[in-house]
Structure 1
Protein backbone atom coordinates (compact mmCIF):
# COMPACT_ATOMS: atom_id res chain seq x y z
CA UNK A 1 0.00 0.00 0.00
CA UNK A 2 1.18 3.48 -0.80
CA UNK A 3 0.93 6.35 1.70
CA UNK A 4 -2.32 7.75 0.25
CA UNK A 5 -4.06 4.41 0.55
CA UNK A 6 -2.72 3.91 4.08
CA UNK A 7 -4.22 7.28 5.02
CA UNK A 8 -7.55 6.34 3.42
CA UNK A 9 -7.51 2.98 5.21
CA UNK A 10 -6.77 4.58 8.59
CA UNK A 11 -9.39 7.33 8.24
CA UNK A 12 -12.13 4.94 7.08
CA UNK A 13 -11.28 2.55 9.89
CA UNK A 14 -11.35 5.29 12.53
CA UNK A 15 -14.54 7.02 11.39
CA UNK A 16 -16.43 3.76 11.69
CA UNK A 17 -14.65 2.78 14.92
CA UNK A 18 -15.29 6.13 16.64
CA UNK A 19 -18.97 6.15 15.73
CA UNK A 20 -19.51 2.61 16.96
CA UNK A 21 -17.40 3.13 20.11
CA UNK A 22 -19.28 6.27 21.15
CA UNK A 23 -22.59 4.43 20.75
CA UNK A 24 -21.31 1.48 22.78
CA UNK A 25 -19.85 3.60 25.59
CA UNK A 26 -23.02 5.72 25.73
CA UNK A 27 -25.11 2.57 26.17
CA UNK A 28 -22.91 1.03 28.87
CA UNK A 29 -21.75 4.05 30.90
CA UNK A 30 -23.29 7.13 32.48
CA UNK A 31 -20.99 9.57 30.67
CA UNK A 32 -22.35 12.37 28.55
CA UNK A 33 -22.19 11.67 24.81
CA UNK A 34 -20.38 14.99 24.28
CA UNK A 35 -17.59 14.03 26.70
CA UNK A 36 -17.38 10.56 25.19
CA UNK A 37 -17.31 12.01 21.68
CA UNK A 38 -14.43 14.36 22.46
CA UNK A 39 -12.51 11.62 24.23
CA UNK A 40 -13.03 9.13 21.43
CA UNK A 41 -11.96 11.68 18.81
CA UNK A 42 -8.69 12.21 20.69
CA UNK A 43 -8.26 8.46 21.11
CA UNK A 44 -9.04 7.96 17.41
CA UNK A 45 -6.42 10.52 16.45
CA UNK A 46 -3.84 8.64 18.51
CA UNK A 47 -5.07 5.40 16.94
CA UNK A 48 -4.77 6.75 13.38
CA UNK A 49 -1.18 7.79 13.98
CA UNK A 50 -0.43 4.44 15.62
CA UNK A 51 -2.26 2.58 12.82
CA UNK A 52 -0.12 4.22 10.14
CA UNK A 53 3.16 3.61 11.98
CA UNK A 54 2.32 0.12 13.24
CA UNK A 55 1.06 -1.24 9.90
CA UNK A 56 4.02 0.19 8.02
CA UNK A 57 6.41 -1.52 10.45
CA UNK A 58 4.36 -4.75 10.47
CA UNK A 59 4.38 -4.90 6.67
CA UNK A 60 8.17 -4.59 6.68
CA UNK A 61 8.38 -7.83 8.66
CA UNK A 62 5.45 -9.69 7.10
CA UNK A 63 5.63 -9.21 3.35
CA UNK A 64 3.68 -10.93 0.63
CA UNK A 65 0.06 -10.99 -0.47
CA UNK A 66 -2.14 -9.85 2.40
CA UNK A 67 -5.02 -12.10 1.42
CA UNK A 68 -2.71 -15.05 2.03
CA UNK A 69 -2.13 -14.15 5.67
CA UNK A 70 -3.07 -16.92 8.04
CA UNK A 71 -5.66 -16.64 10.76
CA UNK A 72 -2.93 -16.85 13.42
CA UNK A 73 -0.96 -14.02 11.77
CA UNK A 74 -4.09 -11.86 11.60
CA UNK A 75 -4.80 -12.52 15.28
CA UNK A 76 -1.18 -11.70 16.17
CA UNK A 77 -1.40 -8.50 14.10
CA UNK A 78 -4.54 -7.18 15.78
CA UNK A 79 -3.58 -8.18 19.35
CA UNK A 80 -0.16 -6.54 19.11
CA UNK A 81 -1.73 -3.41 17.61
CA UNK A 82 -4.34 -3.14 20.38
CA UNK A 83 -1.80 -3.70 23.16
CA UNK A 84 0.30 -0.81 21.88
CA UNK A 85 -2.76 1.39 21.54
CA UNK A 86 -3.98 0.49 25.04
CA UNK A 87 -0.69 1.64 26.55
CA UNK A 88 -1.06 4.99 24.80
CA UNK A 89 -4.76 5.63 25.39
CA UNK A 90 -5.48 4.65 29.00
CA UNK A 91 -3.75 7.72 30.49
CA UNK A 92 -5.44 9.96 27.91
CA UNK A 93 -8.90 8.58 28.71
CA UNK A 94 -8.26 8.94 32.45
CA UNK A 95 -7.27 12.57 32.02
CA UNK A 96 -10.05 13.58 29.62
CA UNK A 97 -12.85 11.85 31.52
CA UNK A 98 -11.39 12.77 34.91
CA UNK A 99 -11.38 9.16 36.14
CA UNK A 100 -8.80 6.90 37.73
CA UNK A 101 -6.32 4.95 35.63
CA UNK A 102 -8.16 1.80 36.69
CA UNK A 103 -11.57 3.08 35.54
CA UNK A 104 -10.04 4.30 32.27
CA UNK A 105 -8.36 0.90 31.87
CA UNK A 106 -11.67 -0.94 32.36
CA UNK A 107 -13.43 1.35 29.88
CA UNK A 108 -10.58 1.04 27.41
CA UNK A 109 -10.59 -2.75 27.73
CA UNK A 110 -14.27 -2.75 26.75
CA UNK A 111 -13.53 -0.57 23.76
CA UNK A 112 -10.43 -2.65 22.96
CA UNK A 113 -12.36 -5.93 22.95
CA UNK A 114 -14.91 -4.43 20.58
CA UNK A 115 -12.26 -2.76 18.40
CA UNK A 116 -10.17 -5.94 18.26
CA UNK A 117 -13.07 -7.85 16.75
CA UNK A 118 -13.93 -4.88 14.56
CA UNK A 119 -10.31 -4.45 13.39
CA UNK A 120 -9.98 -8.11 12.52
CA UNK A 121 -13.18 -8.02 10.47
CA UNK A 122 -12.53 -4.60 8.90
CA UNK A 123 -9.01 -5.47 7.74
CA UNK A 124 -9.98 -8.84 6.37
CA UNK A 125 -12.85 -7.30 4.38
CA UNK A 126 -10.70 -4.33 3.30
CA UNK A 127 -7.89 -6.59 2.06
CA UNK A 128 -10.36 -8.79 0.15
CA UNK A 129 -12.19 -5.87 -1.46
CA UNK A 130 -8.86 -4.21 -2.29
CA UNK A 131 -7.68 -7.26 -4.25
CA UNK A 132 -10.86 -7.21 -6.34
CA UNK A 133 -10.54 -3.48 -7.02
CA UNK A 134 -6.82 -3.66 -7.86
CA UNK A 135 -7.47 -6.53 -10.28
CA UNK A 136 -10.36 -4.62 -11.87
CA UNK A 137 -8.19 -1.51 -12.35
CA UNK A 138 -5.35 -3.60 -13.77
CA UNK A 139 -7.76 -5.28 -16.18
CA UNK A 140 -9.17 -1.89 -17.28
CA UNK A 141 -5.68 -0.50 -17.82
CA UNK A 142 -4.67 -3.50 -19.91
CA UNK A 143 -7.77 -3.06 -22.11
CA UNK A 144 -6.93 0.61 -22.71
CA UNK A 145 -3.41 -0.21 -23.90
Structure 2
Protein backbone atom coordinates (compact mmCIF):
# COMPACT_ATOMS: atom_id res chain seq x y z
CA UNK A 1 0.00 0.00 0.00
CA UNK A 2 1.40 3.18 -1.10
CA UNK A 3 1.22 6.11 1.10
CA UNK A 4 0.17 9.31 -0.39
CA UNK A 5 2.63 11.87 0.78
CA UNK A 6 1.70 15.37 0.41
CA UNK A 7 4.47 17.85 0.28
CA UNK A 8 3.81 21.41 0.83
CA UNK A 9 6.17 24.17 0.20
CA UNK A 10 5.71 26.69 2.78
CA UNK A 11 7.26 30.03 2.76
CA UNK A 12 8.37 31.35 5.99
CA UNK A 13 5.95 33.82 7.49
CA UNK A 14 8.43 36.64 7.37
CA UNK A 15 9.17 36.34 3.64
CA UNK A 16 5.95 37.96 2.33
CA UNK A 17 6.32 41.10 4.44
CA UNK A 18 10.02 41.18 3.61
CA UNK A 19 9.25 41.12 -0.12
CA UNK A 20 6.70 43.89 0.34
CA UNK A 21 9.21 45.85 2.39
CA UNK A 22 11.87 45.46 -0.32
CA UNK A 23 9.41 46.61 -2.99
CA UNK A 24 8.54 49.62 -0.88
CA UNK A 25 12.22 50.41 -0.37
CA UNK A 26 12.85 50.14 -4.11
CA UNK A 27 9.90 52.41 -4.78
CA UNK A 28 11.17 54.95 -2.26
CA UNK A 29 14.66 54.77 -3.76
CA UNK A 30 13.22 55.39 -7.26
CA UNK A 31 11.25 58.36 -5.90
CA UNK A 32 14.44 59.78 -4.35
CA UNK A 33 16.34 59.37 -7.61
CA UNK A 34 13.53 61.04 -9.57
CA UNK A 35 13.43 63.92 -7.08
CA UNK A 36 17.21 64.36 -7.32
CA UNK A 37 17.07 64.29 -11.13
CA UNK A 38 14.26 66.86 -11.12
CA UNK A 39 16.17 69.08 -8.69
CA UNK A 40 19.28 68.84 -10.87
CA UNK A 41 17.27 69.64 -14.02
CA UNK A 42 15.67 72.62 -12.24
CA UNK A 43 19.09 73.85 -11.09
CA UNK A 44 20.48 73.53 -14.62
CA UNK A 45 17.50 75.43 -16.02
CA UNK A 46 17.92 78.18 -13.39
CA UNK A 47 21.63 78.41 -14.21
CA UNK A 48 20.87 78.63 -17.94
CA UNK A 49 18.30 81.38 -17.32
CA UNK A 50 20.77 83.27 -15.11
CA UNK A 51 23.48 83.00 -17.81
CA UNK A 52 21.02 84.22 -20.47
CA UNK A 53 20.01 87.17 -18.25
CA UNK A 54 23.65 88.06 -17.55
CA UNK A 55 24.49 87.86 -21.26
CA UNK A 56 21.52 90.10 -22.12
CA UNK A 57 22.57 92.62 -19.47
CA UNK A 58 26.15 92.54 -20.79
CA UNK A 59 24.93 93.11 -24.37
CA UNK A 60 22.81 96.05 -23.18
CA UNK A 61 25.77 97.52 -21.27
CA UNK A 62 28.03 97.03 -24.30
CA UNK A 63 25.47 98.74 -26.54
CA UNK A 64 25.19 101.63 -24.08
CA UNK A 65 28.99 101.96 -23.90
CA UNK A 66 29.21 101.91 -27.69
CA UNK A 67 26.56 104.62 -27.92
CA UNK A 68 28.39 106.73 -25.33
CA UNK A 69 31.68 106.25 -27.19
CA UNK A 70 30.01 107.15 -30.49
CA UNK A 71 28.51 110.29 -28.93
CA UNK A 72 31.87 111.27 -27.47
CA UNK A 73 33.58 110.63 -30.79
CA UNK A 74 30.98 112.66 -32.66
CA UNK A 75 31.38 115.48 -30.14
CA UNK A 76 35.16 115.26 -30.50
CA UNK A 77 34.94 115.29 -34.28
CA UNK A 78 32.06 117.71 -34.75
CA UNK A 79 32.46 119.81 -31.61
CA UNK A 80 29.92 121.15 -29.15
CA UNK A 81 27.04 123.35 -30.23
CA UNK A 82 26.89 126.63 -28.36
CA UNK A 83 26.47 130.39 -28.40
CA UNK A 84 29.20 133.02 -28.75
CA UNK A 85 27.90 136.15 -27.02
CA UNK A 86 29.27 139.70 -26.93
CA UNK A 87 27.66 142.69 -25.28
CA UNK A 88 27.19 146.05 -26.98
CA UNK A 89 27.72 148.01 -23.74
CA UNK A 90 30.98 147.49 -21.81
CA UNK A 91 29.28 144.84 -19.64
CA UNK A 92 25.82 143.37 -19.59
CA UNK A 93 24.09 140.65 -17.55
CA UNK A 94 21.40 138.33 -18.84
CA UNK A 95 20.26 134.76 -18.03
CA UNK A 96 22.62 134.51 -15.07
CA UNK A 97 25.76 135.39 -17.08
CA UNK A 98 27.84 138.53 -17.41
CA UNK A 99 29.01 139.47 -20.91
CA UNK A 100 31.54 141.99 -22.24
CA UNK A 101 32.61 143.28 -25.65
CA UNK A 102 35.21 140.55 -26.05
CA UNK A 103 32.55 137.88 -25.72
CA UNK A 104 32.55 134.34 -24.45
CA UNK A 105 31.01 131.02 -25.37
CA UNK A 106 28.41 128.91 -23.62
CA UNK A 107 27.47 125.34 -24.59
CA UNK A 108 23.80 124.98 -25.51
CA UNK A 109 23.44 122.04 -23.13
CA UNK A 110 24.44 124.37 -20.26
CA UNK A 111 21.45 126.61 -20.97
CA UNK A 112 17.71 126.09 -20.67
CA UNK A 113 15.52 126.82 -23.70
CA UNK A 114 14.21 129.91 -21.89
CA UNK A 115 17.75 131.23 -21.33
CA UNK A 116 18.64 130.68 -24.99
CA UNK A 117 15.53 132.57 -26.09
CA UNK A 118 16.25 135.44 -23.66
CA UNK A 119 19.86 135.74 -24.87
CA UNK A 120 18.99 135.60 -28.57
CA UNK A 121 16.20 138.16 -28.18
CA UNK A 122 18.25 140.63 -26.11
CA UNK A 123 19.06 143.77 -28.18
CA UNK A 124 22.11 144.60 -26.02
CA UNK A 125 23.82 141.33 -27.00
CA UNK A 126 25.28 140.01 -30.24
CA UNK A 127 24.57 136.26 -30.21
CA UNK A 128 26.01 133.78 -32.72
CA UNK A 129 25.32 130.05 -32.87
CA UNK A 130 28.66 128.29 -33.17
CA UNK A 131 30.33 124.91 -32.86
CA UNK A 132 33.17 124.73 -30.36
CA UNK A 133 35.99 122.40 -31.30
CA UNK A 134 39.43 121.71 -29.96
CA UNK A 135 40.99 121.87 -33.43
CA UNK A 136 42.98 124.97 -32.48
CA UNK A 137 44.35 123.36 -29.32
CA UNK A 138 47.63 121.47 -29.41
CA UNK A 139 47.24 117.68 -29.20
CA UNK A 140 49.00 116.04 -26.24
Structure with more contact order per residue of length (Cα contacts < 8 Å, sep ≥ 6): 1
| Bin for the TM-score computed over the shorter chain | under 0.3
Q: Which structure's residues are more often helix, by fraction?
A: 1
TM-score between the two structures when normalised by the length of structure 1? 0.23
